[in-house]
Amino acid sequence: MPDLPTVPERITVHLGPPDSEAENVTLPFLDYVANVASSEIYPTWPESAIRANMYAQISFALNRLYTEYYRTRGYDFDITSTTANDQFFVPGRDIFENIRDLSGELFNNYIRRIGNVEPLFAQYCNGTTTTCNGLSQWGSVSLAEEGLTPFDILTYYYGDNIELVRDAPIENQTESAPSIPLQLGSTGDAVRTLQIRLNRISANYPSIPKIIAADGIFANDTDAAVRRFQEIFNLTPDGIVGRTTWYTIQNIYIGVKRLTDLSSEGITREEVTRQYPGVLQVGSAGDGVRNLQYFLSYLSQFYETIPPTPIDGIFGDSTRQSVEAAQRTFGLPPDGVVGEQTWNRIYRAYVGIVRTIPTEYTEGYTVPYGGVPLRIGSESDAVTLLQEYLNYIGLTYPEIPQTSVTGYFGPRTQEAVLAFQNQFGLSPSGVVASVTWNAIIELYNAIYQGALLREGQHPGFDVGA
């Protein structure tokens, strides 16, 4: 599902039941709305009734699109033409003039529950030969004749806790599955969406372990939840979220939240709010830029074609030149702009190098950032290293508390990380990604090497003797 609902430019309709070999027809969404309305209601009805019915029809179709109801099930269409499953669509039919006019006005308006973001699954029926829990088409005519407004009619059938979204943005929609599979070390909005869904699914499937924080960081707890989900639903338990795992998770999430039901649990805005910056380019600034600069500077030690860049969090000409060089090195268009493809290619190259470095702790030696952000709930050899480094630094900087070396990132380790970040002017997130890790190992190395006794430096030995 996309973050927030949008109205598609086009919709693909299957001209029959889902499993039939019927034809698919793709047409503008506005034309689809006009066709369905002309096929299901009479143009002579009171306008209030026509409008109420069209709001319901549009919301129903947008719910199918927003939840990717059919595409998550492996179909190559958005909705069917049968009333047994969806809405009545007749290819090539004549469109009533007043319906055409109203379609142009209403096609990007829909119903939703107050506090939720998804279009309401606005179930409806004709109210004579069939009845349902939603809107009665012929009943809406009677209400309109009594003087009720379109919104009054909708609240009569769907309850008082609904609202109309008007002039929703129109976009050329694409599948929500991430273009690059998600796995350990991945970060971003897609990871956060994955975490929210898995945590909700785990309420119905308690053997799926909870993810401690839906923070967009694919760490060990997310990996464990993904693998258990894959085991339950007969997928390869490799911890990698490709298209199949993504849509299986989405399908189960839709089911447990009843998003295709009038009694839907709903999706709140907090569940879809974007938390990570998008494209990085000249003028960008912040931790995202710092991470990029760190990766590029490290890669420059192994690729003669990639120049280093200062790690200052400011995307200037030096960073642009380094990005362009990396893009040329990895066969990408050298435009100096870091989109998803460039970011993932740089990140994968970095991880490919550092994961060949053993993580066993050796006193006095440090290893580079391993590519997986560490935070509450992480458990790995990298956490053990982090705890060792922080404890050693804490001997010189008592503001940084000592923590047990367990390999588990708990509250005490988070306290030490926050103390380090505050002490050295880093963003106090409590998460150890490339910038914080690099600062820790640089300080560790400086303190350790500064404390070593070289020949002629032990007590009682005259300097220069």
pLDDT digits (tens, 9 = 90+) for 420-435: 999 988 888 888 888 8
pLDDT digits (tens, 9 = 90+) for 135-181: 999 999 999 999 999 999 999 999 999 999 988 888 776 778 888 89
- Looking at the domain assignment, is residue 276 inside a domain? no
- Looking at the domain assignment, is residue 182 inside a domain? no
What per-residue string of b and e applies to 212-226 under the rule 16 or more CB within 10 Å gives b?
A: bbbbbbbbbbbbbbb
- Looking at the domain assignment, is residue 96 inside a domain? yes
pTM over 0.85: no
Confidence band, pLDDT 50/70/90 cuts, at residue 30:
very high
Top mean pLDDT of 125-129, 224-228, 286-290 is at 224-228
Look at residues 246, 271, 296 and tell me which one is the last residue of a structural domain. 271
Pair (44, 159) in one structural domain = yes
Pair (115, 148) in one structural domain = yes
- Looking at the domain assignment, is residue 34 inside a domain? yes
Overall domain count for the chain: 4
Pair (308, 436) in one structural domain = no
Q: Given this model, what pLDDT does residue 408 score? A: 87
Q: Which amino acid appears at position 79 of this protein?
A: I
| Cα–Cα dist 415/354, whole Å | 27
Beta bridge partners of residue 80, listed in sequence order: 14
pLDDT digits (tens, 9 = 90+) for 299-311: 888 898 999 998 8
| Cα–Cα dist 373/195, whole Å | 15
Q: Given this model, what pLDDT does residue 16 score? A: 95
Domain that residue 254 falls in:
189-271
pLDDT digits (tens, 9 = 90+) for 331-346: 999 999 998 788 878 8
Pair (326, 203) in one structural domain = no
Q: Which of 166, 171, 191 is nearest to 181 (CA)?
A: 191
Residues in the chain: 465
Confidence check: pLDDT of 449 > 90: no
Look at residues 211, 236, 271 and tell me which one is the last residue of a structural domain. 271
Distance of CA 286 to the CA centre of its chain: 20
Pair (128, 78) in one structural domain = yes
Confidence check: pLDDT of 459 > 50: no
Average pLDDT over residues 283-295: 84
- Looking at the domain assignment, is residue 245 inside a domain? yes
Confidence band, pLDDT 50/70/90 cuts, at residue 48:
very high
Average pLDDT, the chain: 86
Pair (116, 244) in one structural domain = no
DSSP states along 375-436: -TT-BSHHHHHHHHHHHHHHHH-TTS------SB--HHHHHHHHHHHHHTT----S-B-HHH
Count of beta carbons in the 10 Å neighbourhood of residue 168: 17
- Looking at the domain assignment, is residue 376 inside a domain? no
- Looking at the domain assignment, is residue 456 inside a domain? no
Look at residues 145, 171, 197 and tell me which one is the last residue of a structural domain. 171
- Looking at the domain assignment, is residue 221 inside a domain? yes
pLDDT digits (tens, 9 = 90+) for 246-280: 999 988 988 888 777 777 767 665 565 444 456 89
Pair (157, 291) in one structural domain = no
Give SS3 for 301.
coil
Pair (77, 30) in one structural domain = yes
Pair (118, 58) in one structural domain = yes
Separation in Å, CA 200 to CA 191, 256, 270: 14, 8, 14
Pair (159, 17) in one structural domain = yes
Pair (167, 19) in one structural domain = yes
**Contacts of 296 by beta carbon, 8 Å cutoff, 6+ apart:** 306, 308, 309, 319, 322, 323, 326, 346
CATH of the domain at 240: 1.10.101
Pair (128, 83) in one structural domain = yes
Radius of gyration of the chain (CA): 28
Helix pair 243-257, 189-204: axis angle to 10 deg: 50
What per-residue string of b and e applies to 28-58 under the rule 16 or more CB within 10 Å gives b?
A: ebbebbbbbbbbbbeeebbebbbbbbbbbbb
